[in-house]
Amino acid sequence: MFLLINFSLILVFTALFVGAKEIANPCKNPKIDAIIWSSKLRKNTSLLIFNQNYFYEFDFENEELGEGRRINEVWSQIKTPIDGATALRLLINKTSMKFFEEEIMFFKDPKYWVYKSKEKYDKNEELIRSGIFKFYGVHNNHIHKSLSFTLSRKNPRSPYRTIYTGINNMYFVCGSLERKQIRMNEYEMVIGDPSLNSTDLAPNVNECKSYGKKYGDLIGDVEKRLYMNRLYLIHVNEKALVIAYSDDSGTTFKTVQMKKSHFLMLK
């Protein structure tokens, strides 16, 4: 009898252990927390998709979802589930589709973490820096999700960047400045301060300005990038990964084409 109980306990533990190893299941909680469209990955149609404690490589061209990996196995400092992620990326040559991209950033309101952008991620990637987002004005009870940046063309390493972010599920564009906090080994990202004035920011980019609901509810994350001579805007809401692109090859979305992929339906 005793042996039998012991044996069944071992079985239960084994089942739990096997179960724990197999919970990289995007259908369990089919919601996308964040996406990264990195120019460093081998495939230019690959997104990194973040869901709860795991991330996946997703090819939006042939709609293939790769194996799940634990986020904290690669980037151990990040608190999951995250609220946004992005590659700090700038297209520097349109003809050869060359990008400047050295870093990726993760965001969980109000904290962020910066790591090296790579073609492949190993276990325990080294943290470059971390800090907190400081939205200008009183936004304490606002929901902050989603993250995307445009770097300065003149000076891609400038701490002044144009940020695209979601405030209460609406898409906003604001100026931002990243600076080291005095007496602390931490940074802060000042966002939407009307006094931000630098030649590294486009004219009139400082205060947060809303895009309204032009692209629907922005529940999750967003990535914006030129690809195949079209400006792509990929965003996630509660139900879908929405891929929109302009057909005018410019920076506006006068003609928007939509392409939808439902995460729930992917296996």
Ligand X SMILES: *[C@@H]1O[C@H](CO)[C@@H](O)[C@H](O)[C@H]1NC(C)=O
Residues at the interface with ligand X (CB under 6 A) = 44, 93, 95-97, 197, 227-228
* Spatial contact of 178 and 161, defined as CB atoms under 8 Å apart: yes
CA 231 from chain center: how many Å? Answer: 18
Q: How far is the CB of 199 from ligand X (least distance, A)?
A: 8
The token pair at 233 is 């805007």
CA 234 from chain center: how many Å? Answer: 11
The token pair at 263 is 């995460």
End-to-end Cα, the chain, rounded Å: 43
Which one, 44 or 237, has the nearer CB to ligand X? Answer: 44
CA nearest 130: which of 160, 155, 105, 151?
Answer: 105
Which one, 59 or 102, has the nearer CB to ligand X? Answer: 59
Which one, 93 or 185, has the nearer CB to ligand X? Answer: 93
Which one, 181 or 229, has the nearer CB to ligand X? Answer: 229
Q: How far is the CB of 39 from ligand X (least distance, A)?
A: 8
Which one, 149 or 232, has the nearer CB to ligand X? Answer: 232
Which one, 96 or 252, has the nearer CB to ligand X? Answer: 96
Which one, 52 or 206, has the nearer CB to ligand X? Answer: 206
Q: How far is the CB of 95 from ligand X (least distance, A)?
A: 4
DSSP secondary structure letter of residue 206: S
Q: How far is the CB of 37 from ligand X (least distance, A)?
A: 12
Q: How far is the CB of 61 from ligand X (least distance, A)?
A: 10
Amino acid code (one letter) for 109: D
CA 195 from chain center: how many Å? Answer: 27
CA 13 from chain center: how many Å? Answer: 36
The token pair at 167 is 């405030």
Q: How far is the CB of 93 from ligand X (least distance, A)?
A: 4
- Dihedral-angle region of residue 70 (phi above 0 means left; psi in -120 to 50 means alpha; beta otherwise): beta
Q: What letters, b where the CB count within 10 A reaches 16 and e where it falls short, cover 214-237? A: ebeebbbbbbbbbeeebbbbbbbb
Q: How far is the CB of 207 from ligand X (least distance, A)?
A: 11
Residue 213 CB coordination number (10 Å): 11
The token pair at 105 is 């950033």
